[in-house]
Chain A
Amino acid sequence: MVGAKPSGGETVLEVRDLRLELSAKDGARLPVLEEVSLKVGRGEIVGIVGESGCGKSVLSLSVLGLLPPSIRVAGGGIYNGERKELHRLGEKSLQRIRGKEIAMIFQDPMTSLNPGMTVGKQVAEAIRLHTGASKREAEEKTVGLFRKVGLPRPETLYHEYPHRLSGGMRQRVMIAMAVSCQPDLLIADEPTTALDVTIQAQILKLMKTLREEDGTSILLISHDLGLISGVCDRIAVMYAGRIVEEGAAAEVLRHPAHPYTAGLLASLALPSKKGTRLHSIPGSVPALRERGPGCAFASRCPYAADRCLAEKPALRGVAGSAFPRSAACHLLGEEGGLANVGS
């Protein structure tokens, strides 16, 4: 773990008690996110982990106001560093924030760039939009950015179309585009999922370098706990639209407080587990309509008790930890929590 920074400093993003609702075709209002609270400090890398369908991507899209029309903010709020209420801003104000204060990298670099525009122009477009730079200046700056993110032959590459670039190169272009206006926060939604394993490490390393050099905060979203554990200062584990555990990355990984986190960790294929049968969490994330009154994980939890089915556990502090930590599990109320149950 490099430079685990305390979250007490300046905040660039705060999500407080966020509730998102999906308007279904039949008129039903289904909660997509519930009571989600999250803080990202300046220069901090915060990871959000969870299986697909747990609400990670929706959370990231809501920060930039890019939610599909069927999903709306139904409670709580999203605030940037200047305590602006992002969820109440109009489209025009959001446009000034997107790409400038908060930028985003998406999962699939193969489809996230416009196939009909040179990659250089796509990056220069963002620079010109937010800084009012001339065409020349924007081009020079883009070439500089290409060099910075480790793209070869940046001058020639500027004039290439996306289909001439490999997936890793395209993701570097996406990163160059995202950091072009020195945003306070970079949201990376599964930035390495679509890439080869060897490229994954390079891209993560690049993001870390950007944090070291520019102090950019990063919200890193992934389903792969193993992958992001080496990069993040803090980790929030999401399950079925809620944050179920949150804390310093090393702590969460070493002593998971929530059975779901423990399950995710046990599912990792690690060299030390060679020869043993790979663990998997039975079942899958319950669909929006199937979420009952109790803990959403109860149906898959090996420790589920009657109380877990009847009552939703709230997120609360975990005692006996060096860094602030919290988890949402009834078991924690008992002496020693999960550690006591023994995993």
Chain B
Amino acid sequence: MNYYFRRLFTLALTVVLVLILTFSVFRVIPGDPALAILGVEASQEQIEMLSEKLGTDRPMAVQLLEWFRGAATLDLGTSLRYSEPVSDLIASRLPVTLILALESVAIVIAFSIPLGIAAARRPGKAADLAVSVLTQLGLAVPSFWMGILLLLLFGLTLNWVPVSTYVGWDENPWLALRSTFLPAAALAIPQIAIVVRYLRTSLLEQLNLDYVRTARSKGLGDRAVLYGHALRNSLLPVATVIGIQFGELLAGSLVIEQVFSLPGFGSLLISAIGNRDYPLVQGLVLFIAASVIVVNFLVDLSYRWLDPKIKLR
């Protein structure tokens, strides 16, 4: 129990730090934020009105406390451009980006584990070499370019998946999954390459350990040794990498959403930056950072399942 408690404490601490950081990023803009938004030609009256609306006319400490209080009650202020609460805007775009990211993680896991096993079973043989070439390729091609290629092949030439038509999650989950499959795959491919390499190395290391010889000496076959013994022990570094990748997937989705015209965080954040919609930028950055922290917390919890020794620490 102590372990969960400590982990929860560090989680809370990180969230507080992220709150302070997102707050300060918004405030370190030189001069008056209202002036920065409206431009030098704005009248004094306009600037005062916006300052009041933003709350930047109040002392810094008060603003920070407000930001904390707002974050605690999910009230992240109001978007300047859309005149809607930032939390509502996030909620409306969340399903798209979330599906995209989760689908990518699912694709990463579904492909990298069999490929890693195939490579590690007979190192240096044909399957290993093929996987090695594929992962090199996956690492070298950026995901937005991969996205365009996938779109051309599966969307326009083969007509397998709908192109640039996003169907809401609430309307038809199956179609929603299908319409995000290509961008999710594009995001997943470089990550699969990374995970495969980690898993291959880790699995080869495990297969050389003494306990594998013990397992064979009691009469277990190759498959039972691999799946029953070595695989689980080799997943620890893999879980770490997948946790780190979740953040990259969220960041990568900003670009890939543009390629596939998906109404997710990407388009929202880009328009928010373009319009100097600071409350919206601040809210989005906070939300993305918080999701990454939560995912890594979950990864940490999975370590305990993967490595019983961690219980002691």
Contacts and interface: CB of A to CB of B under 8 A. Distances in A.
B12 interface: no
Contacts of B222: 91
A106 B211 CA distance: 10
Contacts of A96: 219
Contacts of B312: 163
A177 B219 CA distance: 11
B31 interface: no
Interface stretch (A110-118, A202-210, A306-314): A110-118
A140 to B, nearest CB: 19
Interface in B191-228: 209-211, 213-222, 224, 228
A129 interface: yes
A95 B217 CA distance: 8
A275 B308 CA distance: 50
A228 interface: no
Contacts of B213: 66, 106, 112
Contacts of B220: 95, 125, 129
Contacts of A338: none
B219 A115 contact: no
A95 B219 contact: yes
Given A117-B229, A161-B309, A163-B308, A112 B211 contact: yes
Contacts of B221: 91-92, 95
B214 A98 contact: no
Contact of B209 (A111, A161, A178): A111
Interface in A239-275: none
- Size bin of chain B's contact surface: 20 to 34
Nearest to A96: B219
Interface in A64-115: 64, 66, 91-92, 95-100, 103-104, 106, 108, 111-115
Nearest to B305: A116
B32 interface: no
Nearest to B236: A116
Interface string A166-209: 00000000100110000000000000000000000000000000
Given A117-B229, A161-B308, A161-B309, A112 B219 contact: no
A111 B214 CA distance: 10
Nearest to B228: A125
Identify the interface centre among B209, B219, B308: most chain A CB within 10 Å of its CB.
Answer: B219
A131 to B, nearest CB: 11
A91 B306 CA distance: 30
